[in-house]
Chains A and B, each alone.
Chain A
Amino acid sequence: AQSVTQPDIHITVSEGASLELRCNYSYGATPYLFWYVQSPGQGLQLLLKYFSGDTLVQGIKGFEAEFKRSQSSFNLRKPSVHWSDAAEYFCAVGAMNYGGSQGNLIFGKGTKLSVKP
């Protein structure tokens, strides 16, 4: 069965510091991978996606993520965090083939990011 693990429930970083949020997935075939961000009381906004090709993908707001098949990981990074990046971040995996009962994304439980001034 597909699954997504975000090992860190809550991370605090100082403004201007670098950031890495971890995501590990379990899926037999080549997955579609996504990172979303959610501000309190809001919906989810897509940061970036990986479908195929270059394993380093660039997203909005200066975020990037690297797909590592050997480690089943898709970690999100940002070189310098801004106070406005404080939010909750969700990693998600989608099936390449939507045959069967699933036609949806599987989400991790999220990592809450706090930013210290």
Chain B
Amino acid sequence: DGGITQSPKYLFRKEGQNVTLSCEQNLNHDAMYWYRQDPGQGLRLIYYSQIVNDFQKGDIAEGYSVSREKKESFPLTVTSAQKNPTAFYLCATSDRRDQPQHFGDGTRLSIL
């Protein structure tokens, strides 16, 4: 069954800790994206990747890092430098720049 899998669904971060959110896809899409969603703010782009081993900063990349070593995977690390990490994180993919993005079910990150 094709789709985008985000894990875990819920994640808690301690002070000073880095945490990694997983995004895996079997849609064979080239492009992958990470968004942050806060109430009343819509979606804001953190990072995106058009091909393997390449990625670009989005509008709010500070305090985050990514890697794209495989086409199927685009993990997002929320570092301790991100002082306000509590949010809903969404991963998306698309097979061409002019095609709609498909979204995973999200990961909710909270601070302990």
Contacts and interface: CB of A to CB of B under 8 A. Distances in A.
A34 B100 contact: yes
A41 B97 CA distance: 27
B105 A104 contact: no
Contact of B90 (A32, A34, A43, A104): A43
Query: What DSSP secondary structure best describes chain B's contact surface?
Result: strand
A41 B17 CA distance: 24
Interface residues of A, number: 24
B100 A103 contact: no
Contact of A107 (B4, B31, B43): B43
A41 B40 contact: no
A102 B106 CA distance: 23
Interface string A82-106: 0000000010001010100101110
Given A43-B104, A46-B102, A103 B31 contact: yes
B101 interface: yes
Interface string B36-55: 00001111110010100000
A32 B98 contact: yes
Contact of B42 (A32, A49, A51, A108): A108
Given A44-B90, A51-B98, A103-B31, A109 B103 contact: no
Interface string B19-45: 000000000000101000000111111
24 contacts: A9-B40, A41-B108, A42-B106, A43-B6, A43-B90, A43-B103, A43-B106, A44-B90, A44-B103, A45-B103, A46-B100, A90-B42, A94-B97, A94-B98, A98-B97, A98-B98, A101-B56, A103-B56, A105-B101, A107-B42, A107-B43, A107-B44, A109-B40, A109-B41
Interface of A: 9, 32, 34, 36, 41-46, 49, 51, 90, 94, 96, 98, 101, 103-105, 107-110
Interface of B: 4, 6, 31, 33, 40-45, 48, 50, 56, 58, 90, 92, 97-98, 100-106, 108
